[in-house]
């Protein structure tokens, strides 16, 4: 996007949430030569660019990262789309009212 038109720079900052720090760490571990590397930073970027400009602007920074990681790992056969689906349900189930008496 270098050289394109855009408005003034809004000098925003935010405190990173635990899941953002986790996503950052996943990418660091996957791109570390010690893991192969299983996924390079260029592949992370390619995965983000594949989303297209519409989704790019809808997602936050680390949302784009984790979505790209999941897609690239599925593409490379490191994880399977079905097992990711099952694991997502498992994660969500931990947060349902049944497991949380406060709700």
Partner 1 sequence: MSHDHPHHHDHDHDHDHPDPHAPRKDLEDTPPTYHQALADAVAELLIEKGVFTGGDLRNTIEYMQGRTPELGAKITARAWVDPAFKAKLLTNAKEAAAEIGIDTGPAPLLVMENTPDVHNVIVCTLCSCYPVFLLGKSPDWYKSREYRSRVVRDPRTVLSEFGTDIAPQREVRVHDSTADMRYMILPMRPEGTDGMDETQLAQLVTRDSLIGVIEVSAPA
- C-alpha 64/C-alpha 76 separation (Å) is 18
Closest distance between partner 1 and the C-beta of residue 9, in Å? 5
- C-alpha 99/C-alpha 93 separation (Å) is 8
Residue 45 binding partner 1, by CB under 8 A: yes
18, exposed or middle or buried, with CB in 10 Å at 0-12, 13-18, 19+? Answer: exposed
Residue 58 binding partner 1, by CB under 8 A: no
Residue 82 binding partner 1, by CB under 8 A: no
Residue 51 binding partner 1, by CB under 8 A: no
Contact track, partner 1, 3-42, x by CB under 8 A: xxxxxxxxxxxxxxxxx-xxxxxx-xxxxxx-x--x-xxx
36, exposed or middle or buried, with CB in 10 Å at 0-12, 13-18, 19+? Answer: exposed
Residue 76 binding partner 1, by CB under 8 A: no
Residue 72 binding partner 1, by CB under 8 A: no
């Amino acid at each position: 996007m270098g050289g394109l038109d855009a408005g003034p720079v809004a000098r925003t900052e935010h405190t990173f949430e635990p899941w953002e720090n986790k996503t950052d760490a996943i990418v660091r571990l996957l791109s570390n030569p010690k893991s192969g590397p299983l996924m390079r930073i260029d592949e992370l970027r390619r995965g983000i660019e594949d989303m297209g400009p519409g989704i790019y602007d809808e997602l936050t920074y680390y949302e784009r990262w984790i979505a790209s990681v999941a897609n690239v790992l599925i593409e490379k056969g490191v994880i399977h789309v079905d097992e990711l689906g099952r694991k997502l349900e498992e994660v969500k189930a931990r947060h349902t009212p049944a497991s949380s008496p406060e709700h």
